[in-house]
Amino acid sequence: MLYARCPGDCNVCPYRNLPLVYRLKSRRRGDSLGVNLYPGWKVCSFDCIYCFRGPTIVKTPFPVDPGYPKPRDLEEALELALKDSVDVSSIDFSGNGEPTLHRSFAEFVSVVRAVADRYGIPASLGVFTNSSTLNQRRVAEALGHLDHVEAKLDTVDPIKFEALNRPAEGLSLQRIVEGLRSLRKNYEGVLAVQVMLVDTGLFTNSTREDAEALARVLNGVELDEVHVYTAYRPPKLSGVSKPPRHLFEAFVKELERTGFKVKAYYE
């Protein structure tokens, strides 16, 4: 499926992550087109316990190219989407897994930029990434052609990192943080860190201590924004829920107190 229009607020995607390009209303990015480089299956370097897309099918820190889509497929899907409506504020690589793992990610970035320019769409081009590839030169160079990078960092506690994000073997929290710092040195677009706060019943990453530790680490990154949110679609793993609102609000206030521009989404 090349293109699908999201029918609106729904807990379960009716298209089961099959479209290459999909239209949606994003909490952070407005009227958006999402670009899904792994339609129909999930390729990621994480297997986060809160992911509503379900378990990671191919869990790897290395580049992957399953053979589809090709750049021409993406070009055709974007043209269908923009013929349907040109009222788009952003076009973002997101979808089913980690987009920067695709071996041809840089080519796909070029396709999106070219199609947007051809249609005269003044949309912000971006990516939602789990931050595991930011220290790779091929990825950093491709990101330099995007306007917005939304990079995940749910916790700076190594034990919670392993429990929440369940990274592929060889990925460490230190590598994630170093990747963020490295990207900021050369990236001139908007760099935001996204934090998903959850409660598993056994632990949470939403305490004041968690916020203080995160602020200490992020102080050296020179972020434009921090986006703090909770899962608004049911996680596939039972027992995972959003933290109480008072913990969420205290977390946000602590980040604001230390000087960060924070956007909060508790839904």
211-238: pLDDT as tens digits: 999 999 999 899 999 999 998 777 767 7
143, 172 Cβ separation under 8 angstroms: no
C-alpha span between 61 and 209 (Å, rounded) = 30
Encoded amino acid at 178, one letter? E
Nearest to 28 by CA among 258, 206, 177, 226: 226
C-alpha span between 258 and 246 (Å, rounded) = 19
pLDDT of residue 84: 86
pLDDT digits (tens, 9 = 90+) for 138-178: 999 999 999 999 999 999 999 999 999 999 999 999 999 99
165, 46 Cβ separation under 8 angstroms: yes
Averaged pLDDT for residues 107-122: 95
C-alpha span between 33 and 22 (Å, rounded) = 6
Computed over every residue of the chain, the mean pLDDT equals 93
Helix or strand (DSSP H, E) at 36:
none
Would you list the domain boundaries of the chain?
3-265
**What 3-state DSSP class applies to 93?**
strand
Unique residue bearing structure tokens 């990192």: 161
Nearest to 81 by CA among 26, 155, 20, 141: 20
- Residues sharing a CB contact under 8 Å with residue 38, sequence separation 6 or more, in sequence order: 64, 66, 95, 96, 97, 99, 102
Tell me 1's DSSP state: -
| β-sheet bridge partners, residue 59 | 44
Q: Peptide bond before 69: cis, by omega within 30 degrees of 0?
A: yes
3-265, CATH topology level: TIM Barrel (3.20.20)
229, 251 Cβ separation under 8 angstroms: no
Does residue 12 register a pLDDT over 70? no
C-alpha span between 88 and 233 (Å, rounded) = 23
Whole-angstrom CA distances from 242 to 54, 158, 162, 203, 265 are 17, 21, 19, 12, 11
Does residue 190 register a pLDDT over 80? yes
Percent of the chain's residues with pLDDT above 70: 95
Does residue 60 register a pLDDT over 70? yes
221, 184 Cβ separation under 8 angstroms: yes
Phi, psi of 80 (to 5 degrees): -60, -45
